[in-house]
Structure 1
Amino acid sequence: MKEDAGLSPHDERIEKLDPRFLTTLRDHVHRTLRSAILSGRFGVNERVNERQLAEQLGVSTTPIKEALRQLETEGLVETLPRRGVLIRFDANWAEEMILARAALESMIAHLAAKRLTKPAASDLQATINLMVEATRNGAPDDLIALNESFHDQIHTASQCQYLARMIERQQFYDASIRRIIHSDPTEREIALNEHSAIAAAITAGDTDKSERVMRDHVVRSGETYLKIVFKNKEEI
């Protein structure tokens, strides 16, 4: 007797892959190198060696080359004849990224205030409540996760598609920088007040205020990032 078309009993033993594991090796390498560059671990105009990077990451040079080409399209590195690949990320570039992100995030906040649903408003307030607790407990890792969740909720509430895709290229913090920032008690309190003000404005449907307080928050936190990454460099 023939089995019915479709899955057999044996096929059920194989689960679908978690989408998180579908990211290519090139993407992993790209993210790792991008994070290292944006965290100031490479100096401006420093030459990077593909073979050394491959050895450090435990991969072949192929994903390194692919990742560097992608980084070059972003302007973070440049390939020059007879000189190789040079780091082009500096304080001025970082400042432009911050201002670009501030512009995008502020417009997303504007639209979130306009399009916010009641369930989304409840979720946003719940995240603020968790931020209050994490701030009191001085838990940087919890605050890092909550900060990302907070902004993701606003992006979702805004129902933006075009702006959301644009802002992906303006993500310049990595976990190490966020941990340094959130380890400072003063910074934690300032960030909590700013996030609370953003949530209140969006929940109230005040589009202009939502736009303004979000822009101010991103610019101020970006200035803190600049001081951490470039404090001992000539660009600042």
Structure 2
Amino acid sequence: MIVKKSNPLYEQIYDNIKESIINGEFKSGERIVDGWIAENLGVSRSPVREAFRKLEQDGLIVNQDGTTYVYKPNVDDVIELFEVRAGLEGMAVFLATKSITDQQIDELSQSILLVEKAIKENRMAEVIKLNTFFHEFIVKSSGNKRLLEMMGKINNLILLYRNNFFAKFYGNDVFINDHYEVVEAMKIRNPELASEKMREHILNDLDQLIEKLSAQQDS
């Protein structure tokens, strides 16, 4: 981790740890110690503890009896998060379909083509990046500031799931068909259908993830 002198120190530490968690450098369930982080960065414990508080608010770390661990997802957490996503992103695409331009729809379509190419070339990091772009583009296109704020609060957990489970659990291109169906509904300016297809897509992802997580916990 590298600390610069431009932004507040705790914010830099927060960003570094967050990136390490989301990218899997800090593993789910791994103990994380403020003293070790402080020593590694050559700083005092105070800004590290402040960064820890922010990470705990994000849900990326948890404190149990004074010991801090990297958040380890369980099936109940996954269900709750994806149910919230289905509702919020379903509304986002409903609103976006009413105002999105043809050029923006073409951008979404192009991102799906790029995903197909990345899958064929086994570039999973690019697949994850493009999948994230697809969903975030639609949320931003909704134009609803409150919705954007609510999505922002769970976005780190969404990225955590994507980065840590996508490559393992989504070794096929089933989700691409879901994306095409969402975009087709947007093209014909049918917000109700677009919303239905988005909710179906997210809940389809949920079913796959639950199956894999349950098998993982049973093994």
The TM-score bracket by the shorter chain reads 0.7 to 0.9
Distance 1:136 1:90, change over 3 A: closer
2:81 maps to 1:84: no
Per-residue displacement from partner, 1:156-210 (whole Å, max 9, x unpaired)? 322222111211222223334333244x1x3xx2011111111111222111111
Counterpart residue identity of residue 49, structure 1: V
Q: Letter of the 2:95 partner, please give it.
A: L
Q: Which moved more, 1:170-179 or 1:48-57?
A: 48-57
Counterpart for residue 132 of structure 2: 148
User: Under a length normalisation based on structure 2, what TM-score does the superposition of the two structures give?
Assistant: 0.75
Between the aligned partners of 1:56 and 1:176, the Cα distance in structure 2 is 25
Are 2:166 and 1:178 equivalent residues in the alignment?
Answer: yes
Equivalent position of 1:103 in the other structure: 87
Between the two proteins, what is the percent identity of the paired residues?
Answer: 22
Please state which structure has a larger fraction of its residues in helix: 2
Structure-2 change in CA distance of 1:169 and 1:128 (3 Å): same
Structure 1, unpaired ranges of 5+: 1-20
Change (3 A) 1:226 1:203: same
Counterpart CA distance in 1 for 2:17 and 2:51 is 5
Q: CA deviation at 1:93?
A: 2.4
Higher mean alpha-carbon deviation, 136-145 vs 193-202, is at 136-145
Residue 90 to residue 122, structure 1, CA distance change in 2 (3 Å) = closer
Q: 2:184 — aligned with what? A: 200
Rounded Cα–Cα distance in structure 2 between residues aligned with 1:94 and 1:145: 20
The aligned residue for residue 34 of structure 2 is 50
Deviation at 1:50, TM superposition (A): 2.4
SS at match of 2:15: helix
TM-score by structure 1 length? 0.71
Decide whether aligned partners of structure 1 residues 215 and 40 sit closer, same or farther in structure 2, where only a CA change above 3 A counts: farther
Which secondary structure state, in structure 2, belongs to the residue aligned with residue 222 of structure 1? helix
Contact 2:14 2:52 in 1 (8 A): no
Write the distance in 2 (CA, Å) between the matches of 1:223 and 1:58: 44
1:106-145 matched pairs, under 5 angstroms: 106-145=90-129
Distance, in Å, in 2 between the alignment partners of 1:66 and 1:121 is 41
Aligned residue type for 1:42:
G
**How many angstroms apart in 2 are the aligned matches of 1:231 and 1:151?**
27
Give a deviation string over 1:134-167, Cα, whole Å, max 9, x none.
2333331221121122123212322222111211
Structure-2 change in CA distance of 1:149 and 1:31 (3 Å): same
Which digits, 9 at most, give the CA deviation of each residue in 1:23-78, with x for residues without a partner?
Answer: 831431452465379x96117xxx65322444567764333311221233345655
Runs of 5+ consecutive residues of structure 2 not aligned to the other structure: 1-5
| Shift in CA distance, 22/220, structure 1 to aligned 2, threshold 3 Å | farther
